[in-house]
Amino acid sequence: MKRDRLFVSIRKQNYMNIAHYINSSFNRGARFLYAAVMLSLIPTACRQTSTNTIKAEVLEHQLVTHTPMVEIDLKEIKDRGYLTAILYGNRSSYYLYKGTPRGYEYELLQSLSKSLDVDLKVKMTDSFASAMKLLNAGEGDVIAHNLSQTNRRKLLVNFTDALREEAPALVQRKVGRKNPVSPEQPTEFLVKRVELANKTVYVAKNTVYANMLHRLSLICKAPVDVQVVDKSTDELIREVAEGLIDYTIADQYIANSKAVYFGNLDTEMAIDEAQPLSWAVRKNSPELLAATNDWLTQIKRTFRFNGIYNRYFMDEKRLKLRNDSEFSSLNGARLSPYDELIREGAENIRWDWRLLAAQIYQESLFNPHAKSWMGAEGLMQVMPNTAKFFGKDSEKLYDPHHNIEAGTEYLNWLNKFWAKRVENPEERIKFILASYNAGQGHVLDAQRLAEKYGKDTKTWDDNVEVFMLKKSEAEYYKDPVVKSGYCRGREPVAYVKNIMSRYESYQQLIPS
């Protein structure tokens, strides 16, 4: 009993620490409700069963470890200029197709960030637990995954309004294919939920499906054998399709899209009632929550909302095209037909090949026959005079190999030019890219203006780029320190930002 009293005393102290955070972070009504729920969960000594004690310890650990460690809300997000979304890298959320980031959640997030007037950054993860760590460490602002609103999760995050409601579905094979684990026993096709009695169902950990199946066991003649495994729902569905396992559970929209892709899956049986699926934000980000809900209210009134959904879950032809393409990160690690040439060119200038690929996409969308209104040609949009300067045949710029050779020669020259002025190689890349787009003379002007106005001349973001933008204003392009005159500064600034953003996507989705 003495040990139990000490155990409860320590636990109460942990809850007092959490209560102090709640008191400083929430309004009075929210504090009362949240604290009341948590205090009701504090175990009483000597009356706890061992099972309840373990559950309480798990919950306490989650509440303590998943407390926000930062104070970042909408104002701070707008001040820094970007929203960081936490995404699951899968066939619906976020992937690459022909060099372009795509995905259901990704497209919705682009709309949200535009409504907030900020840029979008993405962090990838593979589970709710790791997403929570990123969220509360301030490395992400919103978990953009279709999450079920369980009572336990509601203690850890604030959920947005529901994007939609979906029922979890049993994923099984249509055909009578045998289970390779027990080849003498043909797989039984199920038509009723109660037929899951004594069947083995595999579910991904950190999902709500195990609890659903345990509840279902109560109405079955025998318990459902629930196997919680350290695999993604995508992986388990593939195993069902390949005959390695017989049954798994997935939200209906994911199950249906997989059925389209694999062709031998049945997803008709609902395991539970339709449930609201939402995104999540930190407990101390009420303004971001309100703004996200306002955006949701508006976009759900438009055709675009359903259009995005249909594009990723209902368009059978497009689903198969994206999944089967060798230039989809869902099916491999190729960005374009010219990856080998890009790798070779990047090696010559000691760049990550994915960075050079991001620049080439920005220049030509990987089109070797592209030509600009100014006369730039080919994959890297090289000007004929530039090619001649580096001893290349200006008549061969539509040849991918020749074009990449000429373009990387120019990048190498720019690297040597800026190495004397910007020592940090990562920062220097932005100066090189801006110069490739607008010419080093205009970038030097922006650097001189930055020095005149007390900014860091060796940092691009929020420093030199500010004066690159101002070079379209007479007050600045007529300044005595400016040597190259007027420049449409928005173009090189957007050029650098787009390439670096796309490079981040390539780094997350394509192996080096």
> What is the SS3 assignment for 383-404?
CHHHHHHCCCCHHHCCCHHHHH
Q: What is the mean pLDDT of residues 81-103?
A: 90
Domain boundaries, the chain: 2-65, 74-165+277-321, 168-272, 339-509
Percent of the chain with pLDDT over 90: 67
Tokens of 47: 């009356």
Q: Is the pLDDT score of 47 beyond 80?
A: no
pLDDT digits (tens, 9 = 90+) for 187-221: 788 889 999 999 999 999 888 899 999 999 988 88
- Specify the pLDDT at position 62: 53
Q: Tell me the helices (H) and strands (E) count for the chain, helix number first.
A: 22, 13
The sign of the dihedral angle between the CA atoms of 81, 84, 90, 92 is negative
With a cut of 50, say whether residue 167 has pLDDT above it: yes
pLDDT at 332: 83
Q: Is pLDDT of 41 > 60?
A: no
Residue type present at position 202: Y
Topology adopted by domain 168-272: D-Maltodextrin-Binding Protein; domain 2 (3.40.190)
Is residue 162 pLDDT above 50, yes or no?
A: yes
Q: Which residues sit opposite 86 in a β-bridge?
A: 123, 143
Q: Write out pLDDT tens, residues 386-433.
A: 999 999 999 999 999 999 999 999 999 999 999 999 999 999 999 999
- Say which range, 1-15, 362-376, 381-395, 424-438, has the weakest mean pLDDT: 1-15
Sign of CA dihedral 21, 148, 197, 230: negative
- Lowest pLDDT segment from 75-79, 112-116, 320-324, 353-357: 320-324
What is the tens place of the pLDDT at every residue in 103-146? 999 999 999 999 999 999 999 988 888 899 999 999 999 999 98
Which residues make beta-bridge pairs with 118? none
Q: Cα–Cα distances in Å, from 156 out to 151, 292, 304?
A: 9, 18, 31
Alpha helices in 26-70 (DSSP H): 28-39, 50-65
pLDDT category of residue 77 using cuts at 50, 70 and 90: very high
pLDDT tens for 251-287 read 998 898 888 888 899 999 999 989 899 999 999 999 9
Cα 144 from Cα 94, distance rounded (Å)? 10
Following DSSP, what letter does each residue of 241-256 receive, concatenated? HTTS-S-EEEEHHHHH
* Residues facing 201 on adjacent strands: 226
The per-residue pLDDT for 65 is: 56
Can you tell me the distance from the alpha carbon of 224 to that of 201, in angstroms, rounded to the nearest whole number? 7
For residue 58, how many other CB atoms are within 10 A of its CB? 11
Q: Read off the pTM.
A: 0.80
Query: E strand or H helix at 71, and its extent?
Result: none
Residue 471: CB atoms within 10 Å? 25
pLDDT, greater one: 207 or 478: 478
In contact, 156 and 132? CB cutoff 8 Å: yes
Q: Compute the distance between CA of residue 430 and CA of residue 252 in angstroms, rounded to an integer.
A: 44
Q: What is the mean pLDDT of residues 316-325?
A: 81
Q: Is the distance from CB of 134 to CB of 125 less than 8 angstroms?
A: yes
In the chain, what is the greatest distance between 2 CA atoms, to the nearest angstrom?
Answer: 90
Class of domain 339-509: mainly alpha
pLDDT at 183: 59
* 331-357 pLDDT tens trace: 888 999 999 999 999 999 999 999 999
Between CA 355 and CA 93 the distance in angstroms is: 23
Residue 168 tokens read as 């979890």
**Start-end of H helices in 40-169:** 50-65, 74-80, 104-116, 128-136, 151-156
Question: In percent, how much of the chain has pLDDT > 70?
Answer: 85
CATH class entry, domain 74-165+277-321: alpha beta
Q: With H, G, I as helix, E, B as strand and everything else as coil, classify residue 429.
A: helix
The reported pLDDT for the residue numbered 176 is 60
Q: Which three-class secondary structure state does DSSP give residue 229?
A: strand
What is the predicted pLDDT for the residue at 261? 80
> 209, 168 in Cβ contact below 8 A?
yes
Tell me if domain 74-165+277-321 and domain 339-509 are identical in fold. no
pLDDT tier at 184 (50, 70, 90 boundaries)?
low
Sheet containing strand 168-173, strands side by side: 225-229, 200-204, 248-251, 168-173, 265-266
Contact 241, 265 (CB under 8 A): yes
Q: pLDDT category, 323, cuts 50, 70, 90?
A: confident
Mean pLDDT of the chain: 86
Decide which of 130 and 64 is more confident: 130
